Chains A and B, each alone.
Chain A
């Protein structure tokens, strides 16, 4: 969906993806197979990515962002919210990938939760993680999310099916998650400021 929902944090921004981001998307999602092995594979062809983005722009209720450094405008990664369920006032977040060595994990997660609860006014958000992707499952646990179940064979990656772990953040649990992430995001942001 073409949208103008932009979220500014302490050191990073979520800004809407544009067609000009197609080469970056291909690079960050294909250059390091180990990092992206738990994401749905995409074509390395930039033109195909532009075509995918044009279809995304036409789809309603889908938000795709570039994670960007505020001070340098350097692109750090990608994140999205999709699969909206208006009846249950919920959606899924994912397509989360960051360049190697990026420190944007904590703040990009914080900003996507802020988009969900403060801007889109949803009641909950969930994320699905490939069961073998243990560090990301641990990240969601560490943030204070609840595990809502193991979905057998949820992911089809290549020719293999993988189980998925579902984590949920509800409006009730959001303040705890927010506080946990905000403290660390602020500390990371101070690291980007020159020493006094």
Chain B
């Protein structure tokens, strides 16, 4: 899966959970509806879609579209 595919899937997941269209500039700090409950929902949806498992330490660090995408790109490259 390349970066374009990752971005497309992430856009779909985040948009569906946050309830409005998003793009790759999305950040938790800049998105008022990215609350603690939705954060967990995004984490589990990404895990299911991409077949990854975030550690307890990584979960709070996934605070932007770019961080998710970088993480997933790295995982799919190895």
Contact = CB atoms under 8 A, between A and B. Distances in A.
Answer whether A and B are interacting partners. Answer: yes
Interface of A: 100-103, 105-106, 134-136, 138-139, 142-143, 180-181, 184, 187-188, 191-192
Contact of B56 (A103, A105, A180, A184): A103
A35 B78 CA distance: 37
Contacts of A180: 37
A135 B36 contact: yes
Contacts, number: 45
Interface of B: 32-38, 40-41, 44, 56-57, 59-60
Q: Is the interface of B mostly helix, strand, loop or mixed?
A: helix
Nearest to B17: A142
A88 to B, nearest CB: 27
Given A138-B32, A187-B44, A103 B37 contact: no
Contacts of B34: 135, 138
Nearest to B37: A142
22 contacts: A103-B60, A105-B36, A106-B36, A106-B37, A106-B40, A134-B32, A134-B33, A135-B32, A135-B36, A136-B35, A138-B32, A138-B33, A139-B36, A139-B37, A142-B38, A143-B37, A181-B37, A184-B37, A184-B41, A184-B44, A187-B40, A192-B56
